[in-house]
Structure 1
């Protein structure tokens, strides 16, 4: 009996890992929500970034859990692209893996406490965070482009394209908003915190959209596998099947 993926056109496994990736995204959302609740009195969500919750009791650990969970989600998705039959999966898989690595760096190297000088550790945190906001939308866009080339991925391409496009635009605006701070040493960027929270929500949405596309690709290929099996019956089998018996 033929397994899904034996033709090289469909997934090589029937478990996509999409549910696990989605679960990691939800897990990441929980500590972020909790930090916003306990830090409401000291952190202005419209002005300060999420990283500034490091100054809240337990903030470092909770931020690390959130970043680590998103990293695991990205790694699960990266590992599922090739088995799910995405054409040329190496590029987007590497982008997802690099974004996961950057999230780990973000977790291990926290930003400076509010009101303290910016040091090397905080700068490492910022560079890694910038790469997260660049790599994950780019990975979603690469997946969307390749999805149009495979029948089991194609229906999800429009949603992936929209997620990647909107996230990419917001990411560019957010990153460019840091230029005044870099050029003039100003620490005040209007609504920077609010913009970052919108961006994080879009990054999570992009990961969830990728997980949905991954699941759709595996389920779609699984449902069409019996049809492919019948169409690929060797010519030599005629005469031994129903037609042969009827003759």
Structure 2
């Protein structure tokens, strides 16, 4: 199990490094530009690389959770998050102003699934009295609140109101969701690693 966790942390760290490099080199406005737009930059290949690494990290930590006897729902939600991350990277969004394509639709709905399932997994882990339960609960709450802020503009546009990302801090709210959810994933793995090192029974058993 320790090997799964270390490999998972390595994948998450590599994914984070790729994402930060992309942000530093692309030169877009992080307040209004959503992360998907970085795919159209010269170093846009770092985006699917980063998301794939996050997906791998999630799969490895989900495997460790399963071995520790965690709630099966948590394991499945972690796997769903990883699959969604992979789909987000594999199916890029459409360029601004272009009608929604099949690739753009898969990208959009995979992102919604990913943004929704990780906070739920974090709340389930917190209810199981796992280590760092307080932090998991707080991060999951922030992620859900930020997800609501991400979804509201789409609902407003459905009513025919012209609202662009330049009118709202769309980039900020989306990044809050991503950062908090990656933190939930990392804390889930870290709680297992700490417990394993102390030679105690896992506190996240279902």
TM-score range, shorter chain: 0.7 to 0.9
CA distance in 1, matches of 2:38, 2:161: 22
Deviations 1:64-111 (A, max 9, x none): 11110111111111111132243xx21010011111111111111100
Contact between 2:143 and 2:176, CA under 8 Å: does it hold in 1? Answer: no
Corresponding residue SS for 1:45: coil
Matching of residue 52 in structure 1 with residue 34 in structure 2: no
Please list, as runs of the form range in 1=range in 2, the aligned pairs for 1:94-113 lying within 5 A after superposition: 94-113=76-95
What is aligned with 2:177? Answer: 199
Per the TM alignment, residue 16 of structure 1 is displaced from its structure 2 partner at its CA by: 5.9
> Structure 2 residue aligned with 1:74, among 22, 36, 58?
58
Report the aligned-residue RMSD: 2.0
User: Higher helix fraction: Structure 1 or Structure 2?
Assistant: 2
What is aligned with 2:116? Answer: 134
CA distance in 2, matches of 1:85, 1:144: 15
CA distance in 1, matches of 2:158, 2:101: 14
Normalised by the length of structure 1, the TM-score is 0.74
Alpha-carbon distance change, 129 to 204 in structure 1, aligned in 2, over 3 angstroms: same
Deviations 1:207-247 (A, max 9, x none): 11111112122223x157xxxxxxxxxxxxxxxxxxxxxxx
Please list, as runs of the form range in 1=range in 2, the aligned pairs for 1:1-247 lying within 5 A after superposition: 15=2, 17-40=4-27, 43-59=28-44, 61-86=45-70, 89-146=71-128, 148=129, 153=130, 155-184=131-160, 186=162, 188-189=164-165, 190-220=168-198, 222=199
Number of equivalent positions: 199
CA distance in 2, matches of 1:175, 1:24: 29
What is aligned with 2:204? Answer: none
Q: Which runs of 5+ in 1 are unaligned?
A: 1-12, 225-247
Contact between 2:153 and 2:163, CA under 8 Å: does it hold in 1? Answer: no
Alpha-carbon distance change, 110 to 186 in structure 1, aligned in 2, over 3 angstroms: farther
